[in-house]
Chains A and B, each alone.
Chain A
Amino acid sequence: MGVQRKGGTRVTEEPEELARHPLQAILLADSFTTKFRPITLERPKVLLPLVNVPMINYTLAWLESAGVEEVFVFCCAHSRQVIDYLEKSEWFSQPNFTVTTIESHNSISAGDALRLIYERNVIHGDFVLVSGDTVSNMSLTQAIQEHKERRKKDSNAVMTMVIKQSKPSPITHQSRLGTDELFMAIDPQTKQLLYYEEKADHIKGFISLDNMLLADNPSICLHNDKQDCYIDICSSEVLSLFTDNFDYQHLRRHFVKGLLVDDIMGYKIFTYEIHSSYAARIDNYRSYDTISKDIIQRWTYPFVPDVTFFANSATKVEREGMYRAPEIEQSRSAQMGPFTVVGKGTRIGNNSKISNSVIGKNCAIGSNVSIVGSYVWDDVTIEDGCELRHAIVCDGVIIKSGAVLEPGVVLSFKVVIGQQFVVPAYSKVSLLQQPTMQDSDEELEYADSNSGILDSSISGTMDKLNGEMTSEPASELGPGGAGYVWSISEGGHEDEWRHSVAPIPAEKLAEAMQAIEDDLELLNLDGSALSPSGELKPDYNSNDSEGDDDSRDDTFEKEVEATFLRAVHENIKVDDIILEMNSLRLSYNMTSADCAGAIFYAMMKLALETPHPAAGELYKNVASIVSTWQKLLKFYAREIDDQIEVILKFEEMCLESAKEFSPTFSQILHLLYDKDILEEDAILRWADEKKDAEESDKVFVNQSEKFIQWLKEASEEESEEHN
């Protein structure tokens, strides 16, 4: 128990607060993903050995050393195994450090887990939220203090996220931990997180930031070079937020995005960057590989093999990063390369070469075996002449003589590989059959990670479908072999290299870089094709909205007509119909002139559709409708411009949709004038506008010549009278 700096490290908190709330942590002992299948079908991820120590011990040891006093371990998949393990371990009997397990059988996501914990009402203040696969040696003191200080100033600062600078080259950003590309925007002054995009859409060559982000801060920093450590310091509101938003499942994809995008509640997330300490999460096989190497190379000190923290045995560190446990039987001719860990009671035969690998306890390795970059767990038997390159071999596996594991192979518990058999690259072998293929829908992914029990009948049929690969388990892995080779789902295959323990082949790397370049090309093409002016595709939007406008005009007219007809048939009062029209006008964002035009159109159409034996009757129809609804029309045609719009609309109708009106144009114009719907100014200006128009456009002006003349004279007389 070498590294135990107890709760006393937390000196910064106020004493009474300290008394009330011991620092708590929630440890999710379930990752709610399927990335470690098939191994996780038999054993929960947090109990998988990482450099010969179950992962959860790294997390717990770190939490203890960082001054956390109370840890709630949330177990879901294989919860019994986790609880049993913890009960047997010494974690339950630590002074100043209580570990409590919370068991659930139906949680399918981190969101469910947090909701359940909220119901238990065990969290009383700020807490640290981590998953059981976190390896870190950072000190939480500073981060928690910052979090608390922010909380005092702004009660909406509910979460502080720990981030870390990742490696400088753009290629290694992703490849190191096999995670998705991450884009973040952070306010450089306050360190507030403003934008978080994890599953970057690769087709889109650009990031779109909301303009409002910049409204408050004159500068923000966009990062592609940071890594999310998945260590969050949360206030108790976080739990209630999960409860309030029952659709939040994933911590990042739903919760963080939800808070960032939906700022109605005003909750804020801040970041805390660590510089010299280590923090990383084992998310997939690649990060398993990377973090194992980091541990061997002592980046995670004090959590390294030769320092006993928990459940690891005394190991001696030698030069070149060699760690040897006691009681190793090693042949003189065996060569142990650099950066290798060998567990207790392991025997290694003649002329075997081991480098950059981790070998567990009580393994039996024959002679002339070559192991490179592999992870061999406990009680594994490797017979003579085998070759292992970048593979993970679980407990109890037997690899018979002469077998070869190509890079990226994962052998689950107790698999037997037959003699001389070559396991192809990236295959995953398990004694259990592959469960039904699920498409990578998130919900399903959660669901089946948690089911644990396999529906073998369905998987059996699946196996038949995948005929040649998995037909007969016995022969599938060579003579005497046992286990099923899992087929890789279609979509997954491409990304297999990304997440595997095997180093990324050079051509894949080149491909990936090429893909990035293609993005760029695409973008440039777009840029030049769509917007020669140099703007980034500005035309798109404007075109769209214009197109919209046209169609919206039409629908608006139709809506108005329908409303008007309803008013006519149901005898709705004019005031009420005005209200309805107004709401229509606002929702379509139209002017009153548009309204006047549309209403007039509707009226005329009604007049036309009312049966009329002769042209004279048509005029009567119009007259009656206009007089009934003049108030409505008048309401929208108050301004001269609106009235002109009505005249223009009428003209258009006469020319196009309702030619029947054309003989009576001047009559109806006069009628509208008499009914005070059109003012003489409007008519005169309309006539004025048409003065220079083409002859064909002037048909109706000419028709109403007399009327206009009369109006003019009348107005002149009027002005004379005034004088």
Chain B
Amino acid sequence: MDFQVVVLAGGTTKKLVPLVSKEVPKALLPVANRPVLSYVLEQLELSNLKDLIVVVEGQDAALLVGAWISGAYVDRLHVEVAAVPEDVGTAGALRAIAHHLTAKDILVVTGDLVSDVPPGAVAAAHRRHDAVVTTMLCSAPVGGPAESGSSAGKDKIKKPRRYNIIGLDPAKQFLLHIATGAEVEKDIRIQKSILRAVGQMEIRTDLMDAHMYAFKRSVLQKILEEKDNFQSLKQDVLPYLVRSQLRSEMLLNGVSQAEEKGNVKVGSQDNHVVVSQILANASTQSFHELYASGHNGSASVRRIHKCCAYIASNNKYCARLNSIQAFSDINRDVIGEANHLSGYSFSTCNNIIHPSAQLGSKTTVGPHCMLGEGSQMGDKCSVKRSVIGRHCRIGSNVKVVNSVIMNHVTIGDGCSIQGSVICSNVHLQERVGLKDCQVGAGFVVTAGCEYKGESLARKEK
């Protein structure tokens, strides 16, 4: 397929401190002991999309990500790693690498997406409708919002949080309206012209923009070039395209006219020849075409472009690792209900214990757990629904519940860890009690300390 993939891998976002650090950029955060980026790359590989550009914010992070990719995917994928300055936004990042884009269509995926929705299906939907943009929508998580701790619980009682307000045509193929960010909480404003053209619009709040887009390259480049204040794909570029779909400012015939297969209609307007693409690939005439061809008296063919939506079916897993809560959730899910994603084969007890791991006597590792290579556990330990990384040394009488423990962590005897994230090289001394905490890399927790809902990290110099 003539698709080029851009993976926006982010950098060291503040939201995930203390999990991310200079040594561990967001893309390399472990999900079930694999970097989160690998989940996206694997899905792309499965869909046979092998021509990738991975965009990383920050030079140092880019080096780290590049090193990992070249190690892991050396002969499987054709990957370029590009570094862009920090805080340029998703649109900014694309703008920075726009000159690298050559294929007819571009698939943009966020690097923190953990999903089993095939990117190929999104790409195919994009091609089928000859759309300008196709976005992947998945059902919004029913649980609390991606915030930390107790407030999530409160919201759960009230109502599921809204991520997007999305307007779809009756066939659920076209995206007619999208509200993101702060707009979601405001009143909904629907353009009448679009509603007139389509007749009926379904407005959904239970869908979420999963940040996987297929763009027509010429259009994407044009927007990035002309609208230089667009910062975010999600909040600027996509809503703009959706809004202007019946009055397109994109000349689709641009450079790629020769490549396009549709029949070309010529209409004249003010002595300029306006060539517009009437899209022939869709099996039935969509409202776009009806609208574009208009009525008999119309002097010119209307310029339109299509915005499509690919709605992932409900049984697909789809989550973004963009908060600490999400990090814990995804880790839990990947070794739990969505364990086909992890790529490991689970034992009969529904858990994975690496052969080289050592367990002391009377130590139990429950289902939905993972114990990495070379880790050691003392006696009478209990692990439930948790991920433990490589080469950890865990003492005796340690309880680990609903937690993620990364690599090379040392845990003293009698510790109790619940709902927490322990980063690499942390040292927990004896009888430490942690509940809903995050411990940054290399931190040492002194013996006997009890923490609840705190974020512990070394002070960065």
Contact between B193 and A519, CB atoms less than 8 A apart: yes
- Provide the bound-state CA to CA distance between A535 and B178, in Å: 10
Query: For residue A524, which residues in chain B have a CB less than 8 angstroms away from its CB?
Result: 243-244, 247
Given contacts A206-B190, A209-B187, A538-B182, contact A225 B203 (CB under 8 A): no
Contact between A205 and B187, CB atoms less than 8 A apart: no
Against A, the Cβ 8 Å flags (1 = close, 0 = not) of B191-204 are 11101111111111
Query: For residue A310, which residues in chain B have a CB less than 8 angstroms away from its CB?
Result: none
B225 at the interface (CB under 8 A from A): no
- Kindly identify which residue among B198, B230, B298 contacts A510, using a CB–CB cutoff of 8 Å: B298
Within A202-252, which residues are at the interface with B (CB < 8 Å)? Answer: 204-211, 213-215, 218-225
Contact between B193 and A523, CB atoms less than 8 A apart: yes
Residue among B167, B199, B202, B302 facing the most chain A CB atoms (10 A cut-off) = B199
Query: For residue B294, which residues in chain A have a CB less than 8 angstroms away from its CB?
Result: 513
Contact between B298 and A205, CB atoms less than 8 A apart: no
- Provide the bound-state CA to CA distance between A506 and B298, in Å: 10
A299 at the interface (CB under 8 A from B): no
Contact between A219 and B230, CB atoms less than 8 A apart: no
B76 at the interface (CB under 8 A from A): no
Contact between A533 and B231, CB atoms less than 8 A apart: yes
Q: Smallest distance from the beta carbon of A350 to chain B beta carbons, Å? A: 37
B461 at the interface (CB under 8 A from A): no
Query: For residue B236, which residues in chain A have a CB less than 8 angstroms away from its CB?
Result: 533-534
Q: Which of A99-107, A115-123, A164-172 interfaces with chain B?
A: A164-172
Contact between A509 and B199, CB atoms less than 8 A apart: no
Contact between B188 and A211, CB atoms less than 8 A apart: yes
- Kindly identify which residue among B199, B206, B229 contacts A170, using a CB–CB cutoff of 8 Å: B199
Query: For residue A168, which residues in chain B have a CB less than 8 angstroms away from its CB?
Result: 199
Contact between B183 and A536, CB atoms less than 8 A apart: yes
User: Nearest chain-A residue to B198 (Cβ)?
Assistant: A224
B246 at the interface (CB under 8 A from A): yes
Q: Smallest distance from the beta carbon of A427 to chain B beta carbons, Å? A: 26
Query: For residue B200, which residues in chain A have a CB less than 8 angstroms away from its CB?
Result: 221-225
- Provide the bound-state CA to CA distance between A200 and B165, in Å: 23
Q: Smallest distance from the beta carbon of A650 to chain B beta carbons, Å? A: 38
Query: For residue A527, which residues in chain B have a CB less than 8 angstroms away from its CB?
Result: 240, 243-244
Q: Smallest distance from the beta carbon of B353 to chain A beta carbons, Å? A: 41
Contact between A214 and B188, CB atoms less than 8 A apart: yes
- Provide the bound-state CA to CA distance between A243 and B198, in Å: 40
Query: For residue B229, which residues in chain A have a CB less than 8 angstroms away from its CB?
Result: 532-533
Contact between B247 and A535, CB atoms less than 8 A apart: no
Within B274-299, which residues are at the interface with A (CB < 8 Å)? Answer: 290-291, 294-298
Given contacts A170-B199, A506-B296, contact A536 B243 (CB under 8 A): yes
- Provide the bound-state CA to CA distance between A322 and B174, in Å: 45
Query: For residue B302, which residues in chain A have a CB less than 8 angstroms away from its CB?
Result: 517
User: Nearest chain-A residue to B197 (Cβ)?
Assistant: A170
A266 at the interface (CB under 8 A from B): no
B237 at the interface (CB under 8 A from A): yes
- Provide the bound-state CA to CA distance between A246 and B302, in Å: 49
Main SS at interface, chain A: mixed
A469 at the interface (CB under 8 A from B): no
- Provide the bound-state CA to CA distance between A524 and B250, in Å: 14
- Provide the bound-state CA to CA distance between A509 and B188, in Å: 30
Query: For residue A454, which residues in chain B have a CB less than 8 angstroms away from its CB?
Result: none
How many B residues face the partner with a CB closer than 8 A? 48
- Provide the bound-state CA to CA distance between A534 and B203, in Å: 20
Query: For residue A204, which residues in chain B have a CB less than 8 angstroms away from its CB?
Result: 192
Contact between B196 and A534, CB atoms less than 8 A apart: no
A635 at the interface (CB under 8 A from B): no
- Provide the bound-state CA to CA distance between A527 and B202, in Å: 23
A521 at the interface (CB under 8 A from B): yes
Contact between A183 and B195, CB atoms less than 8 A apart: yes
A516 at the interface (CB under 8 A from B): yes
Within B239-268, which residues are at the interface with A (CB < 8 Å)? Answer: 239-240, 243-244, 246-247
- Provide the bound-state CA to CA distance between A648 and B290, in Å: 65
- Provide the bound-state CA to CA distance between A382 and B132, in Å: 61
Contact between B205 and A218, CB atoms less than 8 A apart: yes
- Provide the bound-state CA to CA distance between A519 and B193, in Å: 8
Query: For residue A208, which residues in chain B have a CB less than 8 angstroms away from its CB?
Result: 187-189
Contact between A520 and B165, CB atoms less than 8 A apart: no
- Provide the bound-state CA to CA distance between A418 and B108, in Å: 75
Q: Smallest distance from the beta carbon of B61 to chain A beta carbons, Å? A: 27
Within A160-217, which residues are at the interface with B (CB < 8 Å)? Answer: 168-171, 173, 181, 183, 185, 188, 200, 204-211, 213-215
- Provide the bound-state CA to CA distance between A218 and B140, in Å: 11
Contact between A207 and B196, CB atoms less than 8 A apart: no
Q: Smallest distance from the beta carbon of B155 to chain A beta carbons, Å? A: 13
- Kindly identify which residue among B185, B201, B243, B247 contacts A222, using a CB–CB cutoff of 8 Å: B201
A507 at the interface (CB under 8 A from B): yes
Contact between A507 and B297, CB atoms less than 8 A apart: yes
Contact between B206 and A219, CB atoms less than 8 A apart: yes
B227 at the interface (CB under 8 A from A): yes
- Provide the bound-state CA to CA distance between A208 and B187, in Å: 6
Contact between B202 and A188, CB atoms less than 8 A apart: yes
User: Nearest chain-B residue to A225 (Cβ)?
Assistant: B199
- Provide the bound-state CA to CA distance between A223 and B200, in Å: 4
Query: For residue B199, which residues in chain A have a CB less than 8 angstroms away from its CB?
Result: 168, 170, 173, 223-225
Contact between B192 and A200, CB atoms less than 8 A apart: yes
- Provide the bound-state CA to CA distance between A521 and B187, in Å: 22
B162 at the interface (CB under 8 A from A): yes
B382 at the interface (CB under 8 A from A): no
B70 at the interface (CB under 8 A from A): no
Query: For residue A169, which residues in chain B have a CB less than 8 angstroms away from its CB?
Result: 290, 295
B159 at the interface (CB under 8 A from A): yes
Query: For residue A224, which residues in chain B have a CB less than 8 angstroms away from its CB?
Result: 192, 195-196, 198-200
Residue among A168, A222, A224 facing the most chain B CB atoms (10 A cut-off) = A222
Query: For residue B162, which residues in chain A have a CB less than 8 angstroms away from its CB?
Result: 214
Given contacts A219-B202, A510-B297, contact A534 B247 (CB under 8 A): no
Q: Smallest distance from the beta carbon of A464 to chain B beta carbons, Å? A: 41
- Provide the bound-state CA to CA distance between A208 and B192, in Å: 10
Within A599-643, which residues are at the interface with B (CB < 8 Å)? Answer: none
Q: Smallest distance from the beta carbon of A12 to chain B beta carbons, Å? A: 30
Contact between A506 and B297, CB atoms less than 8 A apart: yes
Q: Smallest distance from the beta carbon of B235 to chain A beta carbons, Å? A: 6
Query: For residue B205, which residues in chain A have a CB less than 8 angstroms away from its CB?
Result: 214, 218-219
- Provide the bound-state CA to CA distance between A668 and B235, in Å: 53
19 more CB-based (< 8 A) A-B contacts, given A218-B204, A516-B196, A520-B191: A207-B192, A207-B195, A209-B188, A211-B187, A219-B206, A220-B202, A221-B203, A222-B203, A223-B200, A223-B201, A224-B198, A507-B297, A510-B297, A513-B297, A517-B193, A533-B229, A533-B230, A534-B235, A535-B239
B residues at A contact (CB < 8 Å): 159, 162, 165, 167, 182-183, 185-193, 195-206, 227, 229-231, 235-237, 239-240, 243-244, 246-247, 290-291, 294-298, 302
List, sorted by A's number, 5 A–B pairs whose CB atoms are closer than 8 Å.
Answer: A206-B191, A206-B192, A214-B203, A225-B199, A535-B182
The 4 A-B pairs of least Cβ separation, nearest first, read A225-B199, A534-B236, A218-B206, A510-B297
